[in-house]
Amino acid sequence: MSDALLSVEDLRVRFATDDGIVHAVDGISYTVETGQTLGIVGESGSGKTVSSLTTLGLTRAPNTTIEGRIMFDGRDLVSLRDDELRGIRGNEIAMIFQDPLSSLHPFFKVGKQLMEAVLTHRDVGKAAARARAVELLELVGIPDPDRRVDQFPHEFSGGMRQRVMIAMALANEPKLLIADEPTTALDVTVQAQILALLDDLQARLGMAIIVITHDLGVVAEITDQIAVMYAGRIVERASTEAIFGSPQHPYTWGLLKSIPRLDTPRDEELVPIAGRPPSLIRRPSGCFFHPRCPYVRDSHKRIDPKLEPITGDPGHSAACLLSTEVRGRIWRGLQEGEAPGQLRHLVVEEDQPVRAHAAHHSPAAEVTAEEATSEDGS
Amino acid sequence: MAAGSNGANLLEVRNLVKHFPITRGIIFQKQIGAVKAVDDISFDVKRGETLGIVGETGCGKSTTAKLLVRLLDPTSGTILFEGQDVAAGGKDELKGLHRQMQMVFQDPYSSLNPRKTVGSIIGEPFAIHGLLKGSGERRKRVQELMDRVGLNPEHYNRFPHEFSGGQRQRIGVARAIALEPKLLVADEPVSALDVSIQAQVLNLLRNLQREMGLTLIFIAHDLSVVRHMCDRVAVMYLGKVVEVAPSDELYSFPRHPYTGALLSAVPVAKPSGARRRERQLLTGDVPSPANPPRACRFHTRCPKAQELCSQEEPLLELKSGHDLAACHFPLTESEVKLRLPTALSSTNASTNAHGAGAAADQSSSSSST
């Protein structure tokens, strides 16, 4: 792991607002190596976008506190001066944003916007920059690049605009590409094209990629490692195979079980995660996931779990207070179609001393009445 | 497709067309063309079933939804709802029809009036139709509805901004079922929601459908969600219906190459093998509906296109089982096997009926009272 290109160490980002301090990112660590793809998965408000914006220094503001280190190629991005960071941003680290329409300037030709990316960081003439722009459009598979380079963003379709965004990000051959929900605004057919393009570009250019998404299907196809974020923290981190093969955290189970899939029987009931994500200003005590967790025990409301390697697999970490053995049994049960309520006895049995208390606390009781909005038992 | 009224069908759509004019000039407007959003589609919706409509952006699925409940006036064609033509009715007839057909919209943020309380939003249908005039009576009914869709009835006087996206969508559903309609048209009801919340709303719709015997038209671009929800699926491309089939048949053995391409593009949440599967990627974008390709509209992007496809328009015909497709050269079994994830064909039997309700008791039931 010594040759990590990007290494985020105990990063914390807090925003001071009128309502209180928002703990957007709360002590996350991860690494990305050259040629690897990391997926960061989580719901809106889980801190996944803030963590990568911080990597690019885009969260610097008077009301923001940033702690921890972001080591990139031997430099700490957190402590770099703004002008030093500008030399890296768009050059060595590039980012693709979710909405390609609002990320492109509607008044300027696509070619001019691409040339700007080149001219900012390279000492080249306009003609050379333009030639580079055409070359980039060709690289991302836009037909007829010589003509398209002189068109405006509104003349491109959604998928083509996202290709332009990718071309712009690749202008200076970055070592790290951060793609924030690169396909969320696109149709499935176009999504498949864009994912194939990213995969292909990585093979050819050998960069590292971080893909931020809420769609586990997207990350399954193109990532090597996955970090699952919840309420500003990483709750599980493992190889893509392990996340799908033997997920360890109840939140990850929730994500996997709440999306309908093409390869499961059609009548299979979806198991939603009850309630909704917590406020990042007034966070729950103990394990942040406990108000929504079907396997909660009394002690989980007090003890804050650490992200630790699970027994038997040092490459797979989870922040959960249940034992690895119990988690394995619950996941197997879920796989067989049992409901979380039916599997709760596994948790209670494990911890005899608190059984008396736990018995009174059905998972539903932990969810406030307002939030117990999941499907009615018919 | 047999014409004529049939007791099993709640809705019969025949030759429905919607063209939006493209005009030039500001004072003297002159029509110079038309966007053919929906161009001659016909289908039936059976009583109590869920019909899914899928397709890419701009294929006309939302326009179809709006035409069905007559939020848009069709250019031509008929929509028979229990034998009554939705497309022809006047204002009074429409009011009666709207008691029986309601819509749930895509964006839970812009489809609720921010200045009204949740109670008055859900109670609005009663006000419009002059029902439950006593305010105590109406309030009681609205609170019943809120409870039914999983909202806390005590939040009667709150405003939409006080609710999360998933809860707002529940408000939209409560408003739609207030008059106990026979038909509910849901246009992308979950695409604006987070994954963990999507499942809550999908389960709610399914349970309501079972309990109230609703007929549901479910429009979405997410093929796995549509498969989960729908009994039958219609696939649209550039204003045309290109394939209609029962879900199990459509997903295990699609006949139209466009359906095949859509299915092939769905990401599979299973890493092993997903990377290696031979994908049939569609190249290019959807052509402009203002100037669609001649004959078969898909021939410009179709991997199987031949001479005939650009000359003669294929009709929607029975290809196999209950599968209607509009294609001269439908996919064969071996092509389907090659292009679609193997998992698809292996689970096509879909015999699994267990777990239907078993999972329902997981964590709620405490919201009442």
CA distances from B187 to A85, B39, B169 (A): 45, 19, 12
User: Do the chains contact at A259 and B263, CB–CB below 8 Å?
Assistant: no
CA distance B73 to B5: 22
Residue scoring higher pLDDT (B268 or A375): B268
Confidence category of residue A1, pLDDT binned at 50, 70, 90? very low
Nearest CA in chain B to A272: B199
Q: What is the pLDDT of residue A221?
A: 81
User: Do the chains contact at A260 and B225, CB–CB below 8 Å?
Assistant: yes
Nearest CA in chain A to B231: A266
- B257-261's contacts with Cβ under 8 Å and 24+ in sequence apart are B257/B298, B257/B302, B257/B303, B257/B304, B257/B327, B257/B329, B257/B330, B257/B331, B258/B298, B258/B302, B259/B235, B259/B325, B260/B331, B260/B335, B260/B336, B260/B339, B260/B340, B261/A189, B261/B301, B261/B303
State how beta strands B240-246 and A233-239 pair.
unpaired
Q: What is the pLDDT of residue A152?
A: 94
Q: In the predicted model, what is the mean pLDDT of residues B109-123?
A: 92
CA distance A362 to B164: 24
Q: What is the pLDDT of residue B269?
A: 67
Tens digit of each residue's pLDDT (9 = 90 or more) over B245-272: 999 899 888 999 999 888 888 877 666 5
Q: What is the pLDDT of residue B7?
A: 65
Out of B196, B266, B281, whose CB is closest to A273?
A: B196
What rounded mean pLDDT belongs to chain B? 84
Is residue A334 over pLDDT 90?
Answer: no
CA distances from B91 to A120, B88, B95, B102, B154 (A): 61, 10, 6, 16, 36
Is residue B198 over pLDDT 60?
Answer: yes
List the single range of A1-10, A123-132, B227-236, B267-276 with lowest mean pLDDT: B267-276
User: Do the chains contact at B271 and A220, CB–CB below 8 Å?
Assistant: yes
Nearest CA in chain A to B152: A370
Tens digit of each residue's pLDDT (9 = 90 or more) over A199-243: 888 988 889 999 998 888 888 888 999 999 999 999 999 999 999
Is the Cα torsion angle B174, B178, B182, B186 positive or negative in sign? negative
User: Do the chains contact at A374 and B364, CB–CB below 8 Å?
Assistant: yes
Q: In the predicted model, what is the mean pLDDT of residues A260-278?
A: 80
CA distances from B69 to A64, A230, B66, B258, B326 (A): 49, 41, 6, 28, 26
Tens digit of each residue's pLDDT (9 = 90 or more) over B10-41: 999 999 999 998 888 888 888 888 899 999 99
Q: Which residues of B touch A374 (CB under 8 A)?
A: 150, 200, 203, 362-364
Q: What is the pLDDT of residue B351?
A: 35
User: Do the chains contact at A188 and B347, CB–CB below 8 Å?
Assistant: no
Q: In the predicted model, what is the mean pLDDT of residues A284-303?
A: 90
Q: In the predicted model, what is the mean pLDDT of residues A320-349?
A: 85
Strand (E) positions, A167-241?
Answer: 176-180, 208-213, 225-230, 233-239
Q: Which residues of A touch B247 (CB under 8 A)?
A: 266
Out of A187, A268, A276, whose CB is closest to B352?
A: A268
Is A142 in a helix, a strand, or coil? coil
User: Do the chains contact at B271 and A241, CB–CB below 8 Å?
Assistant: yes
Q: Bridge-partner residues for A65, per DSSP?
A: A14
Residue labelled with tokens 């702690």 = A67
List the single range of A187-191, A267-271, B34-38, B56-60 with lowest mean pLDDT: A267-271
User: Do the chains contact at A268 and B251, CB–CB below 8 Å?
Assistant: no
pTM of structure:
0.81
Is residue B359 over pLDDT 50?
Answer: no
Out of B197, B264, B269, whose CB is closest to A276?
A: B197
Instruction: Provide, rounded to the nearest whole percent, the portion of chain B with pLDDT above 90.
Output: 46
Q: Which residues of B touch A341 (CB under 8 A)?
A: 361-363
List the single range of A102-116, A118-132, A346-360, B116-130 with lowest mean pLDDT: A346-360
What phi and psi, each to the nearest 5 degrees, are found at residue A90?
80, -5
Out of A195, A240, A377, whose CB is closest to B271?
A: A240
A9: left (phi over 0), alpha (psi -120 to 50) or beta: beta
Q: What is the pLDDT of residue B123?
A: 92
Q: Locate B103 and state its tokens.
A: 């819509």
What distance in Å separates residue A116's CA from the closest CA in chain B? 27
User: Do the chains contact at A220 and B155, CB–CB below 8 Å?
Assistant: no
Which distant-in-sequence residues (6+ apart) come within 8 Å of B26 by Cβ?
Answer: none
Confidence category of residue B342, pLDDT binned at 50, 70, 90? very low
Q: What is the pLDDT of residue B16?
A: 94
Q: What is the pLDDT of residue B348?
A: 42
Burial of A74 (0-12, 13-18, 19+ CB in 10 A): exposed
Q: What is the pLDDT of residue B271?
A: 63
Query: Which of residues 315 through 344 in chain A touch B, CB cutoff 8 A?
Result: 337-342
A27: left (phi over 0), alpha (psi -120 to 50) or beta: left
What rounded mean pLDDT belongs to chain A? 86
Query: Which of residues 214 through 233 in chain A touch B, CB cutoff 8 A?
Result: 214-218, 220-222
Q: How is residue A353 annotated by DSSP? A: G
Q: In the predicted model, what is the mean pLDDT of residues A355-373?
A: 42
Tens digit of each residue's pLDDT (9 = 90 or more) over B96-105: 888 999 999 9
What phi and psi, each to the nearest 5 degrees, are found at residue B149?
-90, 5
Residue A254: its H or E element: helix A250-258
CA distance A350 to B87: 63
Tens digit of each residue's pLDDT (9 = 90 or more) over A4-55: 899 999 999 999 999 899 999 999 999 999 999 999 998 888 888 899 899 9
Q: Which residues of A touch B275 (CB under 8 A)?
A: 199, 221-222
User: Do the chains contact at A189 and B265, CB–CB below 8 Å?
Assistant: yes
- A236-240's contacts with Cβ under 8 Å and 24+ in sequence apart are A236/A307, A236/A316, A236/A317, A236/A318, A236/A319, A237/A30, A237/A307, A237/A316, A237/A317, A237/A318, A238/A313, A238/A315, A238/A316, A238/A317, A239/A315, A239/A316, A240/A39, A240/B271
What phi and psi, each to the nearest 5 degrees, are found at residue A12?
-130, 130
Nearest CA in chain A to B267: A217
Which amino acid makes up residue A78? V
Interface pTM (ipTM) of the complex? 0.76
Which amino acid makes up residue B5? S
Q: Which residues of A touch B272 (CB under 8 A)?
A: 241
Q: How is residue A246 annotated by DSSP? A: S
Q: What is the pLDDT of residue A343?
A: 85
User: Do the chains contact at B164 and A158, CB–CB below 8 Å?
Assistant: no
Q: Which residues of B touch A158 (CB under 8 A)?
A: 57
Out of B167, B223, B350, whose CB is closest to A267?
A: B350
Confidence category of residue B347, pLDDT binned at 50, 70, 90? very low
Q: Which residues of A touch B150 (CB under 8 A)?
A: 372-376
Q: What is the pLDDT of residue B51?
A: 95
What distance in Å separates residue B56's CA from the closest CA in chain A? 6
Residue scoring higher pLDDT (B278 or A249): A249
Tens digit of each residue's pLDDT (9 = 90 or more) over B147-184: 999 899 999 999 999 888 889 999 999 999 999 999 99
What distance in Å separates residue A16's CA from the closest CA in chain B? 22
What phi and psi, each to the nearest 5 degrees, are found at residue B13?
-110, 125
What is the CB neighbour count within 10 angstroms for residue A300?
Answer: 22
State how beta strands B101-104 and B183-187 pair.
parallel
CA distance A311 to A236: 14
Instruction: Provide, rounded to the nearest whole percent, the portion of chain B with pLDDT above 70.
Output: 87
